[in-house]
Structure 1
Amino acid sequence: MDLPTKARVVIIGGGVVGCSVAYHLAKLGWTDIVLLERKALTSGTTWHAAGLIGQLRTSNTMTKLARYTAGLYTTLEEETGVATGFRQVGSVSAALTSERLEELYRAAAMARAFDVPAEELSASEVKEHYPHLNLDGVTGGIWLPTDGQADPANIALALAKGARQGGARVQERVRVTGIAKTGRRVTGVDWASDDGTAEGHIECDMIVNCAGMWGHEVGRMAGINVPLHACEHFYIVTEPIEGLSQLPVLRVPDECTYYKEDAGKMLVGAFEPLAKPWGMNGIPESFEFDQLPEDFDHFEPILEAACNRLPMLAEAGIHTFFNGPESFTPDDAYHLGLAPQMDNVWVAAGFNSIGIQSAGGAGHALSQWMDSGEKPFDLGGVDIGRMQPFQGNKTYLFERSKETLGLLYADHFPHRQKATARGIRRTPFHHQLLNEGAVMGEAAGWERANWFARAGQEREYRYSWKRQNWFDNSAAEHRAIRENVGMYDMSSFGKLRVEGPDAEAFLNHVGGGDFSVPVGRIVYTQFLNSKGGIEADVTVTRLSETAYLVVTPGATRLADQTWMERHKGAHNVVITDVTAGEGVLAVMGPNARKVLQAVSPNDFSNAANPFGTAQEIELGMGLARAHRVSYVGELGWEVYVSADMAGHAFEVLREAGQAHGLTLCGMHAMDSCRIEKGFRHFGHDITSEDHVLEAGLGFAVKTAKPDFIGRDAVLRKKDEGLACRMLQFRLTDPEPLLYHNEPILRDGEIVGYVSSGNYGHHLGGAIGMGYVPCKGESAEEVLASSYEIDVAGSRVKAEASLRPMYDPKSTRVRAEGVASDGLRESAA
């Protein structure tokens, strides 16, 4: 077998995603591409995919990628001569409850913001679009006319042919047997032919793991973490049904089912609530176009509901009962990008049954990233860097995968928490908070107190698109922070110690702020990319002449550490994750100083401990470090205490707080306070795609200092002027709720969407953040317009502001002191 001994890239896996990556790299002019497939192309999971091509996803970025995919599939057949079977038949989603109907109507509104055609349907209009449907219980639905369906295997073969036409080598029946590594780089792959007659080594500059349900094991070979697990996925195909003509794709998520007409037959598939994980002990080496054993008892309840929903199925014979594996990730989002653990290992895997509709866009985006070295746009929702190291644990993946398959069609309620594989990461205050009535949520595996139940109140979520059962609890916690004093656990936030003789110079290179500050000073700033987009949103405390503490969101700790590691260059620094070493209690509110003075002999006055400074303190009978900084817009301190003394610190603060009416608060209250103050939320309001000046965070970037990443882009934007501005909105009707992605209308026209939303309990209405185009306009002209927000199809008037609607001058956080320039209290 004559395989090359050198390549620019080796792609491992010949499913639709691997073929797409090869195709798009070839389109960019790469020629020394080698794709290795262990058996035949498509023989893993691609061949048995249902081939549904939906265009509306849960974010603007993912929708952009799905729309690109659909566009590609319309031209691929003409380009390659391979029939893709793509037909734009449209899709109908039918709701059986009022809650599901609101979800669908919110999705239709979101589609308008993302420029995807969508139409809300009444129950009778659902019937008009899908006449075979039994309307029992149907409350309405939505119609997406540009959705479609296609032949999955032929799409992959067309992409492979296009890649070959561009010069790529696509080789079947060759498996990767080993991966050679030096430090943080792969140097080549060992291969062997399927028949055992040949073997060899390919030296390469990089590899791409497109191994699908083998991606976890291939990742381990390459020294990276790819959390995914295979599950059984069931569908049936009927015998031909007389008179059946082309139909839209139909989804009835309340019954976990989807329906596709194909060549006069019906395919009925399901994403049942309790899935069956498969392959716990590995996938058989011989697996090729394999089916799994039938389990009719497992599928029967789904089929019974389907026969009721589409009565014609009851008369149709079953031609095929299919059970095949698909891979699922812990959060139902796929893995794309450069793996944190290595510097030349890329990943495109774990597509959660949406691989066909995602492959085109994923291959397009990844190839651009590989070619330029920078993400083409925000990919945070699927970036492999979001996965925590523990999530590669096989037992964890087995337990979580039971739930994630079914979550595809479950109600996507706001604040919905995963039910499986919980309790893995616990802060030092976990049991103390539970004893006080905490109701936990999960973020990056951390158990976090989201709200506190009252005595006798059930301690669990009751989900809804309206006010959920914890709404009043969180409102009381919010008011405690605003009017008196609240305390919440911030231990899950990432803590990265940057230490060494070059620590100051390194941070001045990687961060936009000025880190040449005295010991004890806190700097709020961003890490920028070369385009001025925001890669991280951090506070940095100088601990000593040679050490700083970088505090990041818990979910992005690994990504932020990786960003710093990859930009160290010649700087002599060590970056260490110390997140688990310290517990953090935030004591916030007008009476926060009184509480701290009751437990510590240290001086918390403005003179001794002004906003933006940290000091070592005695706390009870122990020691701590008090950072005077706030994410809620009030006087307050974040109290850092070593894990061994954390329990004592909680007891001391809780007891002293009793005299001052201290209220324990959760993450929901923290978020509602931060949005009233106009503080940005990383991943929603600010991403790698959002320019720091357009985000309103120019105050945190010091262009007077030379040579930091993104400086030129900031100066260019100052010269060019802003193309958009981040605004804060308040609905004038106090009843509707905002979450994210609701369309923003300016003078009656959609101009953007809400990037994050919550309820402003002090301001008396739902609050949202969002970008509005403003090229050539002054701030006054932007604010002179009238604004509305589309909430599930209803337009609601909104006030708009560039300055924080709550305490715009930040007098409360300063508490009569002088504000420190460049800290979070100025963030809007």
Structure 2
Amino acid sequence: MSKAIPSKARVVIVGGGVSGCSVAYHLTKLGWTDVVLLERKQLTSGTTWHAAGLIGQLRASQNMTRLAKYSADLYVKLEAETGIATGMRQNGSITVALTDERKEEIYRQASLARAFNVDVREITPVEVKEMYPHLNVSDVKAAVHLPLDGQCDPANIAMALAKGARQNGATIIEGVKVTAVHKKDGRVTGVTCEQNGETYTIETDNIVNAAGMWGRELGRMSGVTVPLHACEHFYIVTEAVPGLKQLPVLRVPDECAYYKEDAGKMLLGAFEPVAKPWGMEGIREDFCFDQLPEDFDHFAPILEKAVNRMPMLETAGIHTFFNGPESFTPDDRYYLGEAPEVKGYWVAAGYNSIGIVSSGGAGMALAQWMNDGEPPFDLWEVDIRRAQPFQKNRTYLKERVSETLGLLYADHFPYRQMATSRGVRRTPLHEHLKARGAVFGEVAGWERANWFAREGQEPEYRYSWKRQNWFENQCEEHLAVRNGVGFFDMTSFGKIRVEGRDVLPFLQRLCANQIDVEPGRIVYTQMLNARGGIESDLTATRLSETAFLLIVPGATLQRDLAWLRKHLQDEFVVITDVTAAESVLCIMGPKARDLLQKVSPNDFSNAAHPFGTAREIEIGMGLARAHRVTYVGELGWELYVSSDQAAHVFETVESAGADVGLKLCGIHTLDSCRIEKAYRHFGHDITDEDHVLEAGLGFAVKTGKGEFIGREAVLRKQEKGLKRRLVQFWLTDPEPLLFHNEAIVRDGKIVGTITSGNYGHYLGGAIGLGYVPCEGENEASMLASKYEIEIAGVRVRAEASLRPMHDPKAERVRF
């Protein structure tokens, strides 16, 4: 007999895999009793039931590691709480490197693990053989052991979470398909579902899309973007192997393989370089605990290497050849949070084959987010608001996920660019820049020139953990910006027009800086949350009494739009994304004024056009709005040009630039210049978890202007003092490189990580930013310490500064 479907609920969770069950479990732990979970077929019948169940605690960032460690701890406790065996074993894991590049990568990961307080040690091939006697280690160059990693039974984990949720009051109903999500005035009001041919409607203010590989289609019904696509995922399970005892989980990423001993059998799984997307025509209605057709030809290259790696596989019979679908996203990171399109529409989906280790922590974090109205800590890495509307396109997704599955075990080189689904968003200057040697990267779908190849140089990346093939190109571009004049195409900036009768009080309430300035003034500001954390980093240009233009990073545009719209009350304000309307041509460097005076009759002197102002100018035969600001720490202007005139303005500037040494520059140079000047970057150096004062941005906060979101948190921090500060580091040895996530060592103890790093070609060494604890300390005592940065296990001496090492008084910006 089917369970009765209630007419009302505080939340309806759609999807009975480990993710949906975890959200239900954690909401009930927070006291939500009116929780309903609906599963179209049976619990775990989509992806969870056939997951490999690997529990690896170290992830790419501190908070993702925090969530993975939470999952591991939870799964250890669940059995005692619910009586359901979770199969959780902390038998450790080993990752081996077969190349010098992979050795560098896993040693960097080991340094990161130490910084995140994850138990880790580097081990020799001899030690690997002792721990894993079946393994051929003849060509193993290095290995890393994490003793608290492990494995579990995925289906039982989900069942235990479901039982825990039921014990705390949740209603879980199988055999119910959600057919519609209702909304009114931009927020969720209910869902319609079917059970045994009957239709029911549940009134609710919240829905959680935990529908796994059905998540994109469920989102599409409500106009919500959830870009994910299923791929085929393969593994084999051997017959029982005599004498096979418990072993650590083994990863051999150079052979795209992982190994797991389970009940005396060996499981071999693969993340092959080119995956097979699945379900292009949709997923059939009766899909439930289904397997996909075997494809031995596709798996054969993995198996061939595995037999060499673990010779016992040659004689062990294959008990199961398994092929099952899992959902993957365009950037290999899952989705969590409230969708920007509809209030009360939450997402927990797209786990990219790490759903078991992620779901415990993700369910906890989403439940707290729903309960408190804000995330418990910085979750931008997996925030659904990073998704771009165009990414729900199925052709785009099919191509991209064929690559992202394989990237899980590919070399994670710095600056690695996606190869598939490229060219979707191009600026009007794209072909011009391509013809001049531009090598493009992609952010939020935008093709951006990352560096420029010289005449005769191959315009492609050659990846490495050392100096890559564009290092000298970047040096030339960087020094051109410092000594002459550089040109950047920054059309990918997000551009938001905010206007209307109440625009000033609206932005005054959201922004920490003083926004009430005269038209033509540019204000650098942050939008804060109630904790004083940074939700957005932007410039606001006042265009008129009732109109402002906000400039934000291209990657955060959807997030920033959502934040603005979320806080719109009964005010007469219109918020419009105008990103595609204008191109942005940045002219930066000591000779920027000389160049602009050659192509425009306007006055670019300090008196006529001071720093922090915007003026309409004539340029060539066109018009532009020239913003005197900088993100590289030099004299310069950003030219906002109507997209139809952008090519003409570019050609005009380029032809005049030869006399003053104009150089085309890429994003890598923009980044190295801004880190050298200690300018912050949202998502790396500043997040919603970082207090604006501890980030060193107090100069952009005006508590005296009146109330604004976060003001009380700023005043409290001023009264109690800072607990940490963002510090700039310069490596005294000019050879090593910084990217991010290297460990900061103070007086012999790891105290944090580098939030962003690059090479400071003007200063002559690698430069990084990172937070250092400072409670009760003054500036002198902080700087009196000995600082080192640990890179792949090697500690390198670093100089530290609380002021920009390049032009600390900003004299070059304002001359």
Smaller-chain TM-score range? over 0.9
CA distance in 1, matches of 2:719, 2:572: 35
Match of 1:200 in 2: 200
Letter in 1 for 2:95: S
CA distance in 2, matches of 1:315, 1:559: 54
> What secondary structure, in the 3-state scheme, does the structure 2 residue paired with 1:543 have?
strand
Match of 1:66 in 2: 68
CA distance in 1, matches of 2:641, 2:210: 43
Note if 1:780 corresponds to 2:785.
Answer: no
CA distance in 2, matches of 1:343, 1:202: 17
> For the Cα contact (< 8 Å) 1:622–1:645, is it kept in 2?
yes
Deviation string 1:585-637 (CA, Å, 9 cap, x unpaired) is: 11010100000000000000000001101100000011001100000000000
> For the Cα contact (< 8 Å) 1:744–1:790, is it kept in 2?
yes
Match of 1:599 in 2: 599
Match of 1:619 in 2: 619
CA distance in 1, matches of 2:147, 2:736: 29
Choose from 23, 27, 36 the match for 2:29.
27
Match of 1:236 in 2: 236
Match of 1:127 in 2: 129
Letter in 2 for 1:273: P
> What secondary structure, in the 3-state scheme, does the structure 2 residue paired with 1:449 have?
strand
Note if 1:562 corresponds to 2:562.
Answer: yes
Letter in 2 for 1:768: G
CA distance in 1, matches of 2:666, 2:116: 33
Match of 2:493 in 1: 493
> For the Cα contact (< 8 Å) 1:216–1:227, is it kept in 2?
yes
Match of 1:153 in 2: 155
Q: CA deviation at 1:121?
A: 2.2
> What secondary structure, in the 3-state scheme, does the structure 2 residue paired with 1:234 have?
strand
Aligned pairs (5 A) from 1:327-476? 327-476=327-476
Letter in 2 for 1:85: G
CA distance in 2, matches of 1:68, 1:126: 28
CA distance in 2, matches of 1:22, 1:534: 29
> For the Cα contact (< 8 Å) 1:731–1:796, is it kept in 2?
yes
CA distance in 1, matches of 2:814, 2:189: 54
> What secondary structure, in the 3-state scheme, does the structure 1 residue paired with 2:64 have?
helix
CA distance in 2, matches of 1:83, 1:803: 55
Match of 1:818 in 2: none
Aligned pairs (5 A) from 1:359-758? 359-758=359-758
Letter in 2 for 1:747: D
> What secondary structure, in the 3-state scheme, does the structure 2 residue paired with 1:159 have?
helix
Match of 1:216 in 2: 216
Match of 1:36 in 2: 38
CA distance in 2, matches of 1:130, 1:608: 73
Match of 1:310 in 2: 310
Letter in 1 for 2:737: L
Range that drifts further, 147-156 or 570-579: 570-579
Q: CA deviation at 1:780?
A: 1.2
Letter in 2 for 1:791: I
CA distance in 2, matches of 1:780, 1:613: 36
Letter in 2 for 1:63: T
Match of 1:251 in 2: 251
Q: Unmatched 5+ residue regions in structure 1?
A: 816-828
CA distance in 1, matches of 2:51, 2:647: 51
Letter in 2 for 1:573: V
Note if 1:189 corresponds to 2:182.
Answer: no
Q: CA deviation at 1:128?
A: 2.5
Number of corresponding residues: 813
CA distance in 2, matches of 1:382, 1:128: 38
> What secondary structure, in the 3-state scheme, does the structure 2 residue paired with 1:425 have?
coil
CA distance in 1, matches of 2:130, 2:641: 63
Match of 2:52 in 1: 50
Deviation string 1:731-763 (CA, Å, 9 cap, x unpaired) is: 111111011111111100011111110000011
Letter in 2 for 1:132: H
> For the Cα contact (< 8 Å) 1:53–1:148, is it kept in 2?
yes
Q: CA deviation at 1:513?
A: 0.9
Q: CA deviation at 1:129?
A: 2.5
Match of 2:790 in 1: 790
Q: CA deviation at 1:137?
A: 2.1
CA distance in 2, matches of 1:303, 1:50: 17
Deviation string 1:448-488 (CA, Å, 9 cap, x unpaired) is: 00000000000000000000000000010000000011001
Q: CA deviation at 1:792?
A: 0.4
> For the Cα contact (< 8 Å) 1:180–1:186, is it kept in 2?
yes
> What secondary structure, in the 3-state scheme, does the structure 1 residue paired with 2:410 have?
coil
> What secondary structure, in the 3-state scheme, does the structure 1 residue paired with 2:730 have?
strand
> For the Cα contact (< 8 Å) 1:126–1:140, is it kept in 2?
no
Q: CA deviation at 1:120?
A: 1.4
Deviation string 1:93-137 (CA, Å, 9 cap, x unpaired) is: 011110011000000000000000111123223222222111132
Letter in 2 for 1:616: E
Range that drifts further, 256-265 or 773-782: 773-782
> For the Cα contact (< 8 Å) 1:616–1:624, is it kept in 2?
yes
Match of 1:820 in 2: none
TM-score (norm 1): 0.98
CA distance in 2, matches of 1:102, 1:585: 38
CA distance in 1, matches of 2:477, 2:180: 55
Deviation string 1:545-580 (CA, Å, 9 cap, x unpaired) is: 111110001000110011001111122111111111
Deviation string 1:638-657 (CA, Å, 9 cap, x unpaired) is: 01100010000000000010
> What secondary structure, in the 3-state scheme, does the structure 2 residue paired with 1:205 have?
coil
CA distance in 2, matches of 1:569, 1:736: 51
> For the Cα contact (< 8 Å) 1:511–1:526, is it kept in 2?
yes
> What secondary structure, in the 3-state scheme, does the structure 1 residue paired with 2:704 have?
coil
Match of 1:99 in 2: 101
> What secondary structure, in the 3-state scheme, does the structure 2 residue paired with 1:268 have?
strand
CA distance in 2, matches of 1:391, 1:52: 29
Q: CA deviation at 1:707?
A: 1.4
> For the Cα contact (< 8 Å) 1:222–1:345, is it kept in 2?
no
Letter in 2 for 1:526: Q
CA distance in 2, matches of 1:433, 1:126: 50
Deviation string 1:648-699 (CA, Å, 9 cap, x unpaired) is: 0000000010111100000000100000000001100000000000000010
CA distance in 1, matches of 2:580, 2:127: 54
Choose from 170, 173, 198 the match for 2:172.
170
Q: CA deviation at 1:223?
A: 2.4
TM-score (norm 2): 0.99
CA distance in 2, matches of 1:445, 1:177: 31
Structure 1 ranges of 4+ moved more than 6 A: none
Match of 1:807 in 2: 807
Letter in 2 for 1:8: R
CA distance in 1, matches of 2:186, 2:133: 58
> What secondary structure, in the 3-state scheme, does the structure 2 residue paired with 1:457 have?
coil
Q: CA deviation at 1:58?
A: 0.3
Range that drifts further, 218-227 or 683-692: 218-227
Match of 2:225 in 1: 225
Q: CA deviation at 1:180?
A: 1.6
Match of 1:113 in 2: 115
Match of 1:823 in 2: none
CA distance in 2, matches of 1:136, 1:633: 51
Q: Unmatched 5+ residue regions in structure 2?
A: none
CA distance in 2, matches of 1:542, 1:475: 36
> For the Cα contact (< 8 Å) 1:92–1:129, is it kept in 2?
no
Note if 1:180 corresponds to 2:175.
Answer: no
Letter in 1 for 2:13: I
Deviation string 1:146-180 (CA, Å, 9 cap, x unpaired) is: 10000000000000000000000011111112222
Q: CA deviation at 1:185?
A: 1.2
